[in-house]
Amino acid sequence: MKLLRELTKKPWLEKGFDSDDGPGADGIRGPAVAATGMWFYVGVASVMFSLIIAAYVLRLGNYGADPASAAAAKASLAWWTLAAICGIPPADDWAPMAEPFLLWINTGVLILSSIAWQRARGDLRSGRMDKLRITLTAGGLLALVFLAGQLTVWRTLMASGQFAPDGPALAFFYLITALHGLHMLGGLFFWGRTTAMVLNGAEPAEVATGVNVCAIYWHYLLIVWVVMFGLLLIT
C-alpha cells in the first residue's frame, strides 16, 4: 500500500514544488526542480544549436569542393538529415552575405543585458531590493532592445531584396536569428513574472530562484549568440 501511495502522489500539487511558492518541506525542492528544469532545457537547446552549426559547416564545406568530394558529401546520410532539419537543399551555390553593422550594436546590447542580470544576482545576495528592481528592469528592457534590433536587421535585409530563398547563407541567418529570438522571448516571459514579484514587494527568498535561473539562462543565450554571430562573420 505504501508503494501504491508513492506511485500515485502528485508532487506538482504540493506546496513548494513551484519555485514561486518558496522551498518545500525539505527546503530545497522548489529551487532544485527549477534549476534541474533549466539545465535540461539548456541541454536540449544546445543539441539543437549544435545540429545547426554542423549543418552550416557541412553546407559551407560543400561550396567550391571538387565534384567527387561534393558528390560524396551529398551521398552521406548525415548530409541529407542535417539539410532536411534546416530545410535547405544541398547545392553548390553558397554566396557570402553582408553583415549589417547593426548586428554589432545588437551584440553589445545583449552583453549589457547579461551584465545587468549578473548585477541583479549581486543585488539579490546583498538584499538590496531597491537596486534589484532597477537591474532586473534594465536586463529585460535591454533584451527587448536587442530583439527590436534583430527585427530591424531583418527588415533592412528584406527591404534590399535579400530573402531566405536567395541563398543558403541568408537562409541560415534567418534560421539562426529566429530560433535565438524565440528563446529570448521565452526568457522574457519568466523575466516578466520575476520582475512583477519584485515590484510587488516580494522578499529576496521568494524571488531568489527566479533571478538566478533567469540570469544563468541569459548568460547562456549570450554565449549562443556570440558563437553563432562569430560563425557568420568568419564565413
Using 50, 70 and 90 to split pLDDT, how confident is the model at 188? Answer: very high
Quote the CA–CA distance of 122 and 128 in Å, as a whole number. 9
Cβ-Cβ contacts under 8 Å for 12 (sequence gap 6 or more)? 18
Go through 29-47 and write b for each residue having 16 or more CB atoms within 10 A of its CB, e for each that does not.
bbbebbbeebeeebeebee
66 vs 63: CA distance, rounded Å: 9
Contact 162, 97 (CB under 8 A): yes
Distance CA 212, CA 43 (A): 17
Measure CA of the first residue to CA of the last residue in the chain; give whole Å.
63
**Residue 161 burial by Cβ neighbours in a 10 Å radius (0-12, 13-18, 19+):** exposed
Q: What pTM did the predictor assign? A: 0.72
What are the domain boundaries of the chain? Answer: 17-86+98-234
Q: pLDDT over 90 for what percent of the chain?
A: 34
pLDDT of 88: 47
pLDDT of 18 > 50? The answer is no
Mean pLDDT of the chain: 76
Cα→Cα distances 143→73, 76, 200, Å: 39, 40, 22
Task: Indicate the Cα dihedral angle 185, 182, 112, 125, nearest 10°.
Answer: 50
The CATH homologous superfamily for domain 17-86+98-234 is Cytochrome c oxidase, subunit III, four-helix bundle (1.20.120.80)
Mean pLDDT, range 198-204, rounded to an integer: 88
Mean pLDDT of 140-148: 96
Task: Give the pLDDT score at 95.
Answer: 64
174, 153 in Cβ contact below 8 A?
no
* pLDDT (mean) for 53-74: 61
Report how far apart, in Å, the C-alpha atoms of 232 and of each of 23, 83, 123, 210 are.
43, 18, 36, 33
Is the pLDDT higher at 148 or at 230?
148
What's the confidence (pLDDT) of residue 42?
Answer: 82
